[in-house]
Amino acid sequence: MSETEEKIAKQALQKAYERETSALIAKVRERASSITELEDLWALHDLLSTKRYEIDGKYHYNCSSMVFDFALLVKEGWLHLNELKGLKSEMLSKISALVRM
């Protein structure tokens, strides 16, 4: 992978990370404002624990799993295919194919 492609990949990962974490913060604020019982608090804690585990693993830069990672981020709506423009066309084709699956 070229330096340019690596830069594009890292920027795309950062954009997706910022989108997902911003959405999570908004969700947590909304849920926290409606806590009325202790069970609501524990449910919020469980959500945060789960999301921390998911996010920490999802946004680790790894060349060997990049095609799968980007396909997942596109499927989940945190990333758009056009934000990967500049990566090799072969890689983009693979990502597009996985997104359609």
Per-residue pLDDT of 25-59, as tens digits, reads 999 999 999 999 999 999 999 999 999 999 998 99
DSSP 8-state secondary structure symbol assigned to residue 38 = H
State how far the Cα of 83 lies from the Cα of 41, in Å rounded to an integer. 37
Q: How confident is the model at residue 63, as a pLDDT?
A: 87
Per-domain residue ranges for the chain?
3-100
Q: Tell me the three state secondary structure of residue 61.
A: coil
Q: How confident is the model at residue 60, as a pLDDT?
A: 87
Residue type (1 letter), 70: F
State how far the Cα of 94 lies from the Cα of 34, in Å rounded to an integer. 43
List phi, psi (to 5°) of 87. Answer: -75, 160
